[in-house]
């Protein structure tokens, strides 16, 4: 594949370097190339770098981040290196005066995330985190439906993100998969959870859990759970939202009909709970690649000096839940209040 034609909204004025051209980073390379913003690709693994360099012969390629940071044509660095490196790479880029788009999770420690957010703030830099689902047309529409009261009062939200692989060796499944679910569920509920409990099991590597179930408690008694696994026979990415009027299901593994609304619920008749079953409605979604929307949003924020939808504060809210989940996991699944992460003092 070679470079694609420019989009109507070509962002020619913003120069971007993509750091990390692996499994995920190559998609970011493609999108920023299509948006005519790509100036550099950088990967220390020569075969990965060369594979991308062949596809984009007019783009400069290096294995050394310093080359990228020294180039004043590069306004923003997009980081898709392994999660354990996000903190260091984002820090270096911010200190070099660049805007930063970093893949999820922002860092593997809440306090490191705080440091990055503070660094970006003090330098007036744009810091965005790749919580890609927040740019998915299905999530945008679902958020709008909930705000307009279409589902009624939210009661329960849950998400399954299951697959076979990709098994990470530095972060566990909670930190690898659940950032997406935490960001989306918090967005739909309109607030962060107040308490988190997580339990899970390690089967492939000692001390790295492969499967977790995280229970979330929000204000107003709204609850949710997140079930993530990389040791599962098939891919499932399903979000279920239960309201007191209607219910919604977002199934991201099917090509069409990803978002359905079910006019179903329980009605009380003569003191008895009776299921109300009416038709389901499949909603029409904008045909757009979520990553394309995410990349366009980042470029617009850089150009217009705007706070991204998934900015550093958004990433910190997610990190707080991850850290509470991790603590709970280490304590055998007991609930951990989010205030413990903020203050460092057990409740
Ligand atoms: N948003 C999503 O849905 C999603 C999905 C998958 C992965 N990701 C994220 O993307 C990131 C990368 O994941 P991946 O699956 O592509 O991993 P990967 O291992 O396939 O790719 C990482 C790349 O970074 C390169 N790299 C490592 N250290 C480097 C350095 N110091 N300088 C230059 N290059 C370096 C590696 O050589 C490798 O090519 C992770 O943070 C992951 O969480 C996000």
User: 53: Cβ below 6 Å to ligand 1?
Assistant: no
User: 108: Cβ below 6 Å to ligand 1?
Assistant: no
User: 143: Cβ below 6 Å to ligand 1?
Assistant: no
Same domain, 24 and 56: yes
User: 81: Cβ below 6 Å to ligand 1?
Assistant: yes
User: 22: Cβ below 6 Å to ligand 1?
Assistant: yes
pLDDT at 12: 55
What is the distance in A from the centroid of ligand 1 to the CA of 284? 33
Residue of the nearest CA to atom 30 in ligand 1? 44
User: 82: Cβ below 6 Å to ligand 1?
Assistant: yes
Residue 126 lies in a domain: yes
pLDDT at 287: 87
Residue 4 lies in a domain: no
The pLDDT tens digits for 123-140 are 999 999 999 999 999 999
The distance from CA 311 to its chain's CA centroid, rounded to whole angstroms, is 11
Helix (H) or strand (E) segment spanning residue 86: helix 83-95
Same domain, 150 and 248: yes
Same domain, 138 and 125: no
Same domain, 152 and 175: yes
Strands 99-103 and 76-79: parallel
Residue of the nearest CA to atom 6 in ligand 1? 24
92 vs 44: CA distance, rounded Å: 16
Taking the CA of residue 85 as reference, the ligand 1 atom at the shortest distance is 28
- Cis peptide bond upstream of 105, omega within 30: yes
What is the distance in A from the centroid of ligand 1 to the CA of 232? 22
Same domain, 282 and 332: yes
pLDDT at 346: 76
Same domain, 122 and 182: no
User: 83: Cβ below 6 Å to ligand 1?
Assistant: yes
Residue 346 lies in a domain: no
Residue 345 lies in a domain: no
Taking the CA of residue 45 as reference, the ligand 1 atom at the shortest distance is 37
User: 65: Cβ below 6 Å to ligand 1?
Assistant: yes
Terminal-to-terminal C-alpha distance of the chain: 55
Residue 315 lies in a domain: no
Residue 205 lies in a domain: yes
What is the distance in A from the centroid of ligand 1 to the CA of 103? 8
What is the distance in A from the centroid of ligand 1 to the CA of 222? 34
Same domain, 217 and 273: yes
Q: What is the DSSP letter of 231?
A: E
Range list of β-strands (E), 108-230: 127-130, 154-164, 195-201, 211-217, 223-229
Q: Could you say which residues of the chain have pLDDT below 70?
A: 1-12, 347
Q: What are 223's strand-pairing partners? A: 156, 217
What is the distance in A from the centroid of ligand 1 to the CA of 327? 25
Residue 282 lies in a domain: yes
Same domain, 119 and 156: no
Same domain, 146 and 276: yes
Residue in 53, 140, 45 with CA at minimum distance from that of residue 85: 45
Instruction: Give the total number of structural domains in the chain.
Output: 2
100 vs 252: CA distance, rounded Å: 27
pLDDT at 342: 82
pLDDT at 11: 46
Residue 222 lies in a domain: yes
User: 111: Cβ below 6 Å to ligand 1?
Assistant: no
Q: What is the DSSP letter of 241?
A: E
Residue 272: both structure tokens together: 């008895």
Residue 243: both structure tokens together: 């309201």
pLDDT at 279: 82
What is the distance in A from the centroid of ligand 1 to the CA of 344? 30
Same domain, 333 and 215: yes
Same domain, 186 and 219: yes
- Cis peptide bond upstream of 166, omega within 30: yes
DSSP string of 10-73?
--TT--EEEE--STTHHHHHHHHHHTT-EEEEE-SSHHHHHHHHHH-TTSEEES-HHHHHT-TT
Taking the CA of residue 132 as reference, the ligand 1 atom at the shortest distance is 1
Quote the domain boundaries for residue 78: 16-132+291-308
227 vs 159: CA distance, rounded Å: 6
User: 48: Cβ below 6 Å to ligand 1?
Assistant: yes
Helix (H) or strand (E) segment spanning residue 207: none
Residue of 23, 31, 113, 289 to mutate, ligand 1, most atoms within 8 A of C-beta: 23
CATH number at residue 192: 3.30.360.10
Same domain, 204 and 272: yes
pLDDT at 209: 97
Q: What are 129's strand-pairing partners? A: 102
CATH number at residue 126: 3.40.50.720
Residue of the nearest CA to atom 33 in ligand 1? 43
């Amino acid at each position: 594949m070679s470079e694609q034609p420019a989009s109507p909204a070509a962002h020619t004025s913003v120069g971007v370097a993509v750091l990390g051209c692996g499994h995920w980073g190559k998609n970011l390379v493609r999108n920023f190339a299509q948006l005519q913003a790509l100036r550099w690709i950088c990967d220390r693994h020569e075969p990965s770098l060369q594979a991308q360099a062949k596809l984009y012969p007019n783009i400069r390629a290096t294995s050394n981040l310093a080359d990228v940071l020294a180039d004043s044509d590069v306004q923003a660095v997009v980081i898709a290196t392994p999660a354990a490196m996000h903190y260091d790479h984002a820090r270096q880029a911010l200190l070099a005066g660049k805007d930063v788009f970093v893949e999820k999770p922002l860092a593997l420690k809440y306090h490191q995330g705080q440091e990055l957010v503070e660094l970006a703030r003090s330098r007036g830099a744009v810091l965005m985190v790749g919580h890609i689902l927040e740019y998915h047309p299905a999530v945008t529409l679902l958020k709008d439906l909930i705000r307009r009261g279409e589902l009624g009062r939210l009661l329960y939200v849950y998400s399954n993100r299951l697959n076979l692989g990709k098994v990470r060796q530095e972060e566990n499944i909670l930190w690898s998969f659940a950032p997406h679910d935490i960001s989306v569920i918090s967005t739909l509920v309109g607030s962060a959870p107040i308490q988190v409990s997580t339990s899970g099991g390690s089967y492939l590597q000692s001390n790295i859990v492969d499967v977790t179930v995280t229970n979330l408690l929000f204000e107003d008694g709204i609850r949710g759970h997140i079930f993530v696994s990389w040791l599962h026979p098939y891919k499932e990415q399903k979000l279920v939202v239960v309201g007191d009027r209607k219910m919604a299901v977002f199934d991201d593994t099917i090509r069409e009909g990803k978002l359905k609304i079910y006019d179903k619920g329980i009605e009380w008749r003569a003191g008895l709970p009776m299921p109300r079953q009416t038709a389901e409605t499949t909603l029409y979604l904008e045909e757009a690649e979520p990553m394309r929307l995410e990349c366009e949003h980042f470029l617009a924020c850089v150009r217009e000096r705007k706070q991204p939808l998934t900015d550093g504060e958004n990433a910190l809210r997610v990190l707080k839940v991850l850290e509470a989940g991790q603590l709970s996991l280490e304590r055998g699944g007991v609930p951990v209040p989010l205030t413990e992460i903020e203050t460092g003092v057990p409740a």
